[in-house]
Amino acid sequence: MNNYLITIIGPTAIGKTALSIKLSQHFNCEIISCDSRQFFKEMKIGTAVPNEEELATAKHHFIQNKSIFEHYTVGDFEVEALQKLDELFKTNNVQIIVGGSGLYVDAVLKGFDEFPDIDASVRDEINSKYDELGIEYLQSALKDLDLEYYQKLETENPQTLVNPQRMKRFVEVCLGTQKPYSSFIGKRKNERNFVPIIIGLQADREIMYDRINQRVDIMMKEELLEEVKALYPYKNLNALQTVGYREIFDYLDEKTTLDFAVEQIKMNTRRFAKRQITWFKRTENTNWFDYKTDTNDIIHLINSKIHNS
């Protein structure tokens, strides 16, 4: 096996995009984005999509390639990303993935268990009940249908219990198959035709928070408000249940002031960054670097991994 996948992870606003472009130039390869919010072409400013110059400097994939109106799952992404990597490895045995969505990074590196197809009517019923009853409905349903998995999440990954999209999926599988979600886990062995070389970027918390605050201010100057206004009629779509959009929807609903909404975006992004760090710190074999590390030092580490494998 002589394919190598440089995998760049870390919290939001830490500099992953800039590093990925430098590495793509050095290794003459392309970049697959694993940012689950940057897939959607209607969401450009609030997801910090690479700018035109960055996109022109290196070939990117899975950036604004879907619509918020499409049903797109992490399983769909796994299939499409692996197909793209197989294509890219034919011309260069070093490629790059980058992103802050840990679940989507894991999809590429490790894959997931296989689940049966679920009838769309089950999903519609769950969405309807969620709209009426909120996250408590999903939590109660999962506890009833798969107590083992609920308790596992409660212990190991409690933030998932308040993630509507993932909770809907767990309940959907339970109701659609009449079996516990946990009964499908660990049944499938996923083979990969590459060796991952994982690079993690980190910074002191205060530095990271300052970078996040600056990014949000830049987004507002780039007219994030106008972007969210245009999406307001579709505010209940899953893709839009995310930081930077929810808070401004509240402002447009006259629940808050704009200044308060912006402060909420900063606060919720900081919380999101903390969850990203918790997730990525569990990623095995990660080579952690300070966000200001000279790129040549990172290239040296990557080359040593390639030559010694």
39, burial (CB in 10 Å: exposed 0-12, middle 13-18, buried 19+): buried
Strand 195-202, strand 4-9: pairing:
parallel
Segment 129-146, tens digit of pLDDT: 999 999 999 999 999 999
Task: Using pLDDT thresholds of 50, 70 and 90, give the confidence band for residue 264.
Answer: very high
CB count, 10 Å around CB of 124? Answer: 10
Give the pLDDT band (50/70/90) at residue 114.
Answer: confident
Q: State the pLDDT at residue 189.
A: 63
Task: Evaluate whether 37 touches 57 at the Cβ level (below 8 Å).
Answer: no
180 is in an annotated binding site: no
Best CA proximity match to 115, nearest among 156, 36, 153, 169: 169
> The tokens of 302 are what?
């990557």
Six-digit token pair at 98?
């980058």
Find out whether 15 is annotated in a ligand binding site: yes
Residues in the chain: 309
Residue 299 carries which side chain, given as an amino acid letter? I
Distance CA 273, CA 100 (A): 9
In the predicted model, is pLDDT for residue 73 greater than 90? no
Q: Report whether 14 belongs to an annotated binding site.
A: yes
Q: What are the tens digits of pLDDT across the range 156-166?
A: 878 789 889 88
17 annotated to a ligand binding site: yes
Residue 113 scores a pLDDT above 90: no
Cα–Cα nearest to 116, from 149, 75, 152, 153: 75
CA-based torsion, 53, 58, 59, 60: positive or negative: negative
Tell me: pLDDT of 275 over 70.
yes
Known binding residue 11? Answer is yes
Q: What pLDDT sits at residue 185?
A: 81
Percent of the chain with pLDDT over 70: 99
| 16 annotated ligand binder | yes
Q: What is the DSSP string of 241-252?
A: -STTTHHHHHHH
Query: Which of these, 126, 122, 96, 116, lies nearest to 34 by C-alpha position?
Result: 96
Q: Is the pLDDT of residue 252 over 80?
A: yes
CATH 3.40.50.300 in the chain is located at: 4-112+190-308
| Residue 273 contacts residue 13 (beta carbons within 8 Å) | yes
Q: Give the list of residues 6+ apart from residue 107 with CB closer than 8 angstroms, or none.
A: 34, 74, 75, 77, 78, 81
Question: What angle do the packed helices 102-109 and 258-281 form, to 10 degrees?
Answer: 30
Report pLDDT digits (tens) over 282-305. 899 999 999 999 999 999 999 999
Going by their DSSP bridges, the two strands 195-202 and 286-290 should be labelled as parallel
Specify the CATH superfamily of domain 4-112+190-308. Answer: P-loop containing nucleotide triphosphate hydrolases (3.40.50.300)
pLDDT for residue 1 = 62
pLDDT at 167: 94
Consult the annotation and say whether 13 binds a ligand: yes
Tens of pLDDT, residue by residue over 190-212, are 789 999 999 999 999 999 999 99
* pLDDT at site 188: 67
* pTM to 2 decimal places: 0.81
pLDDT of residue 165: 85
Q: pLDDT tens digit string along 4-55?
A: 999 999 999 999 999 999 999 999 999 999 999 999 999 999 999 999 999 9
